[in-house]
Amino acid sequence: MDKIFIHALKTEAIIGIFDWERQVKQTVIVDLEISADIAKAALSDSIDDTLNYKRIAKHVLAFVEESKFHLVETLAQHIAMLILEDFGIAWVRLSLSKPGAIRNSRDVGVMLERDRDDLEKWRARAVAHKP
C-alpha cells in the first residue's frame, strides 16, 4: 500500500477538561498517514491523479481551529472520520499530540488507525444517537 504523509501539522485549538483550558487555545500537532495509490500520479506527474495533501492539510487545520472538544481522543476520532469521508480515503493513521500537557513530558496524545468500515460504524452510531 502506498501512503501519503503529513508530519507535524501544527495549529491551535480549544482542547482540555479544565476550566482554564476552555478559555485559551493550546497547541495541537497532527501527524497523518493516508493510504493512496500513487502509481497513476507517478506516471502522469499530475496533481489531479493523486491526493492533494495541501487540501487535506487546510481542511484539517480549519476543522481543528474551530473545534472545542474536551479530549484529544475525541478530536483525533473526528479528524480521522473527516478525512475518510471528505476525501474518500480507504485508510488513515493519525497521531495527535498536545505539547506541554504534562510537566516533564514533551507531549501527550493518541494514535489511531481507521478505515472505511470504521466510518460506516461511526455513521451508524451517529444516526442512533440523534434525538
Catalytic amino acids?
98
Dihedral (Cα; 92, 75, 95, 42), 10-degree rounding? 40
Spatial separation of the C-alpha atoms in residues 7 and 66, rounded to whole Å: 21
Between CA 92 and CA 84 the distance in angstroms is 7
How far apart are the C-alpha atoms of 70 and 41, rounded to whole Å?
Answer: 39
